[in-house]
């Protein structure tokens, strides 16, 4: 037998191995059964998107690739109002949105943002993880949206300015401040004597840079990740309201998922929401000094004076009437008497 002679068995084994390797190379990757999109209005490095990426990676793994969710951070699919429209139409499957902006579709969702209702995030979450949150989520479902029971943290909101520090109510007189597109925000700052106007967050940096507004208000982590310290001079610690994100879904897209895939998604959303809350709180707690080093002059505002001004304006009575006695009573179980 010469060196070129190959036994039938060896030839068959070699050919089989070669064909198998070719099959592996040529076989296309199995497409996800459900390829969905998730959008947010914050940068990719914000704890919301960091933990959301981990969440959907885990969901894809645990569903063996059946649900694959692509993340679109930083208003890539449009501002909050545009994304909400896409969510309701089915062009977008998942979205995180502050209750104050969701108010345009679910009026009671803005109750989380009542001025000076909560001392801190921990107090707010005790309310929104409980009966008040259940009440709000029930209305969200009635509006035809899916909502997960765990909210994602944004934090206590502070005021930044390019013109003057906000030490008390007098400094807000005539102050041109950008607010998110929510009626409660606008009324709150009008009640404090300011000149508020709503604008989607995707346009805020340019509006501050060109001095369309004197200032804006947001939690520390947003001020940091959006680099608002580049176009503002002062940061006033007001803690005037709390904000957090509802995780929302298009109802038809959610119902299309098999029950076992839904269960995996809901379990991971709950796990990563709690991790994100911790991350954001730690980040907010650490940022005051950091933002000061980046050039913002920081002062602590007269919160009691601001709240007194707000109460005297009739703000609480107006919003009690709008939200209704049941929702308001649930809020006051945590906040204490407001109106």
d(CA 35, CA 69): 6
Whether 326 has a pLDDT exceeding 80, the answer reads: yes
Q: For residue 18, what pLDDT is reported?
A: 40
What is the predicted pLDDT for the residue at 339? 86
Q: What percent of the chain shows pLDDT beyond 90?
A: 89
- At 30 the pLDDT is 66
Percent of residues, the chain, with pLDDT higher than 70: 91
**Would residue 44 count as lying in a domain?**
yes
Residue with the two structure tokens 């929104």:
128
Question: Is 221 inside any structural domain?
Answer: yes
User: Residue 253 sits in a domain of what CATH number?
Assistant: 3.40.190.170
Name 142's Cβ contacts closer than 8 Å, sequence gap at least 6.
Answer: none
82 band by pLDDT with thresholds 50, 70 and 90 = very high
Q: What's the rounded Cα separation, in Å, for the pair 280 and 46?
A: 8
The residue among 328 and 11 whose pLDDT is bigger is: 328
Tokens 């991350």, located at residue? 279
Question: Residue 91 — very low, low, confident or very high, per pLDDT cuts 50/70/90?
Answer: very high
Instruction: Tell me the average pLDDT of the chain.
Output: 92
CA distance linking residue 187 with residue 174, whole number of Å? 14
| Closest to 127 (Cα-Cα) out of 306, 309, 329 | 329
What is the rounded average pLDDT of the residues 220-249? Answer: 97
Residue 21 has pLDDT above 50, yes or no: no
Provide the β-strand partners of residue 98: 245
Output DSSP code: residue 27. Answer: S
250-295 pLDDT, tens digit each: 999 999 999 999 999 999 999 999 999 999 999 999 998 899 999 9
Those residues whose C-beta lies under 8 Å from the C-beta of residue 232, and which sit 6 or more positions away, are 160, 161, 162, 208, 215, 216, 223, 296
pLDDT at position 48: 97
Q: Is 3 domain-assigned?
A: no
Q: For residue 136, give its domain range.
A: 34-335
First to last CA, the chain: 102
pLDDT at 31 (0 to 100) = 82
How many other β-carbons are positioned within 10 Å of the β-carbon of residue 209? 13
**pLDDT given for residue 288 in this prediction:** 82
Does a structural domain hold residue 23?
A: no
Q: Is residue 195 part of a domain?
A: yes
Spatial distance between the Cα atoms of 334 and 128, rounded to a whole number of angstroms: 10
Residue 164: what are its φ and ψ, rounded to 5°? -165, 155
The Cα–Cα gap between 150 and 277 comes to 10
pLDDT at 22 over 60: no
pLDDT tens digits for range 100-147: 999 999 999 999 999 999 999 999 999 999 999 999 999 999 999 999
> At 77, phi and psi to the nearest 5?
-100, 10
Burial 183-198 (b: 16+ CB within 10 A, else e): bbbbbbbebbebebee
Indicate the pTM of the whole model: 0.89
Which residues have C-beta within 8 Å of that of residue 147, sequence separation ≥ 6? 137, 140, 141, 246, 247, 248, 249
Number of domains making up the chain: 1
pLDDT value of residue 8: 40
Identify the burial level of 255 via C-beta atoms within 10 angstroms of its C-beta, where 0-12 means exposed, 13-18 middle and 19 or more buried.
exposed
Model confidence pLDDT, tens digit, residues 175-227 = 999 999 999 999 999 999 999 999 999 999 999 999 999 999 999 999 999 99
Q: Assess if residue 40 is contained within a domain.
A: yes
Identify how many contiguous H helices and E strands the chain contains and give both numbers.
14, 12
Question: 26 lies in a domain?
Answer: no
For residue range 101-113, what is the model confidence (pLDDT) as tens digits? 999 999 999 999 9
- How far apart CA 145 and CA 143 sit, in angstroms, is 6
Q: Can you give the pLDDT at residue 184?
A: 97
Helices (H), the chain: 8-26, 47-62, 80-89, 99-102, 121-128, 131-142, 183-191, 204-209, 220-225, 251-256, 259-293, 303-312, 315-323, 325-335
- Measured in residues, the chain has a length of 339
Question: In this structure, is residue 15 part of a structural domain?
Answer: no
3-state secondary structure of 117: coil
């Amino acid at each position: 037998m010469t060196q070129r002679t190959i036994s039938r068995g060896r030839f068959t084994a070699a050919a089989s191995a070669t064909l198998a390797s070719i099959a592996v190379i040529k076989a296309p990757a199995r497409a996800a059964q459900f390829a969905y999109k998730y959008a947010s209005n914050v940068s990719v490095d914000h704890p919301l998107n960091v933990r959301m990426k981990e969440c959907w990676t885990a969901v894809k793994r645990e569903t063996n690739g059946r649900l694959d969710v692509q993340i679109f951070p930083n208003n890539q699919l449009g501002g909050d109002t545009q994304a909400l429209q896409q969510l309701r139409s089915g062009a977008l499957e998942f979205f995180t949105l502050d209750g104050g902006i969701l108010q345009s579709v679910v009026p009671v969702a803005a109750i989380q943002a009542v001025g000076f209702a909560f001392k801190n995030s921990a107090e707010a979450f005790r309310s929104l993880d409980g009966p008040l949150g259940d009440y709000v989520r029930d209305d969200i479902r009635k509006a035809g949206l899916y909502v997960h029971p765990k909210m994602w943290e944004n934090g206590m909101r502070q005021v930044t300015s390019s013109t003057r520090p906000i030490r008390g109510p007098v400094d807000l007189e005539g102050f041109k401040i950008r607010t998110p597109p929510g009626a409660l925000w606008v009324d709150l700052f009008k009640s404090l004597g300011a000149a508020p106007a709503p604008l989607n967050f995707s346009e805020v940096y340019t509006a501050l840079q060109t001095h369309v507004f004197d200032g804006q208000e947001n939690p520390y982590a947003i001020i940091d990740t959006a680099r608002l310290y580049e176009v503002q001079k002062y940061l006033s610690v007001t803690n005037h309201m709390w904000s957090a994100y509802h995780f929302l879904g298009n109802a038809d897209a959610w119902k299309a998922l098999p029950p076992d895939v839904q269960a995996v998604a809901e379990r991971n959303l709950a796990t990563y929401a709690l991790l994100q809350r911790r991350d954001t709180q730690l980040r907010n707690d650490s940022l005051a000094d950091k933002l000061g080093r980046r050039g913002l002059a920081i002062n602590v505002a007269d919160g009691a004076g601001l709240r007194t001004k707000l109460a005297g304006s009739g703000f609480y009575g107006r919003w009690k009437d709008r939200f209704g006695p049941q929702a308001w009573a649930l809020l006051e179980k945590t906040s204490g008497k407001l109106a």
